[in-house]
Amino acid sequence: MHGTLNLVGYGLSAIGPAIATGMIFAAYISGVARQPEARSVLQPIAFLGFALAEALALFGLVLAFVLK
């Protein structure tokens, strides 16, 4: 078996954004469950937070390909 440790590193680095994404949507779901009429206010905030957290994982992915 041969390959690069980049991908292992990327797998490790994806843990952080994964937890972050889970927490963001957990907060969004519980917010909507408590106050369903707040959905339209919370939705952009939730997706913005998701996008920011996910960006980190995707930068990791790009760097895993770019760096040797």
Residues that bind another protein (CB under 8 A): 1-4, 6-7, 40, 44, 47-48, 50-52, 54-55, 58-59, 61-62, 65-68
Shortest separation between residue 54's beta carbon and another protein, angstroms: 7
Shortest separation between residue 28's beta carbon and another protein, angstroms: 14
Structure tokens at 67: 């760096």
Shortest separation between residue 34's beta carbon and another protein, angstroms: 21
Q: State the alpha helices, DSSP H only, in the chain.
A: 6-13, 15-34, 39-66
Helix pair angle (6-13, 15-34), 10° resolution: 20
